[in-house]
Amino acid sequence: MVNRNACILAGGMSRWGMREASLVDLFQEAAKDCLDFIPGLKPKAIDGFLVSSAYSGRCSFQVNLAPVIAERCGLQPTSVCARVDVLCAGGSTAILLAKALVESGNAEIVLVAGGEKLFTPQKWEVFYSELASIDHDWDAPHGLGLPPPYFAMIAKEHMRHYGTTKEQLARVSVANYFFGHDNPKAQMQKVLTLEEAMNAPSVVPPLTLYDCCPITDGAAACIVASEDKAKELTDKPLVYLRGCAQASQHSVSANHGGQHMADWPALRSAAEKAFKMAKLTPDQIDVAQVHDCFSISQIIEVEELGFCRKGEGGAFVCSGQNRIGSRIPINTDGGLLAVGHPFGGTGIRQGTEIMRQLQGTARHQVQDACFGLTHNLSGLNSEQTVIIYGREPAN
């Protein structure tokens, strides 16, 4: 059997933020931005479509979303047309599935799109709806579906076990806001000072306003295609999907499985498998996009992904090892904290940023970047998803 390599060869997004736009509007903006990346590619040449959205049914009253968005974007998919719902990891999961479809020969060109319309006229509904993200019988009655309290508990555990400080949390936000301040599609376009971050209003101690990502309307889209088809469509450097993995070891918070809440074995498991498939090690990754839904999550993720030792994530970011020119630049477009987080779109935005980094066209470019990584978590750390990209295939 001939090896088929999958590539990501285009990406785009709508403007993210609090939008006076429908869910369909957001997907159309993102699809157009993506397709403009490859002028010669016509929508009807795309044979596969995967759409990621968790809240379309509740917030937009639109289920069976895939054929609706496909038609509104001018697509007539013949290999697959399906919706993916893995909450915050939906976009990266859809990329993972597109890779499998292309490499198995079941599709040639797949448009992957993801996004949410989360803001509603009654703002309280946004937070109430998030209780649907977890086990509705067990954790939801206790309010654990609201992310800030849950991640505040995680932050306290990390502080107790490893001595992590509020300044180290704040340094994550300062760095990510710096990367996002000049991103025209980002929700939070501002430079954040350490003083502002340290003195921000409390949300759930020890988390303050800038430790939490905003609620966001927005969508993103990318094209995944076979290597041969990619060479026909673009003369830009190809970016290969070298390795990917997803691990889920629990749903109910009581079955977390780690030694404590700041210990994430599922992420270690997913990372190990993805690195093995990609034939790489953590020290070979040049740039990463991790799931900074809260500042503490980025601190834990750099540990579990192998960029530093367990317990040293706070010192890692406080010493600037996540900046360009240091150990490994992270969230170079602003991450969730600055760009925002429309659940189904985040993994696609991350993949597009890595594509641009490896093509040498990113806004905050990492010099000579060859390998990149994206990571998403979902719910109460229920799923962990890792994708590794490279300028060369793994085989």
Catalytic residues: 88, 341, 370
- Kindly state the tokens that stand for 134: 């977890």
Three-state secondary structure call for residue 222 = strand
How many Å from the N-terminal Cα to the C-terminal Cα in the chain? 13
**How many Cβ atoms sit within 10 Å of the Cβ of residue 107?**
26
294 in Cβ contact with 212 (< 8 Å): yes
* Alpha carbon distances (Å) from 372 to 54, 231, 331: 26, 21, 11
Is there a contact between 290 and 375 (Cβ–Cβ < 8 Å)?
yes
Closest Cα partner for 183 from 286, 31, 336, 292?
Answer: 336
Signed CA dihedral, 354, 101, 275, 86: sign only: positive
Q: What is the 3-state secondary structure (H, E, C) of 25-42?
A: HHHHHHHHHHHCCCCCCC
Query: How far apart are alpha carbons 136 and 68 in whole angstroms?
Result: 28
Would you call the peptide bond into 206 cis, given omega within 30 degrees of 0 as the criterion? yes
**Ramachandran quadrant class, 17 (left: phi over 0; alpha: psi -120 to 50; beta: rest):** left
| Structure-block tokens of residue 67 | 């054929």
State the pairing for strand pair 371-378/109-116: unpaired
Residue whose token pair is 């003195």: 199
Is the Cα torsion angle 244, 267, 144, 345 positive or negative in sign? negative
Nearest CA to 349 out of 280, 292, 281, 284 is that of 292
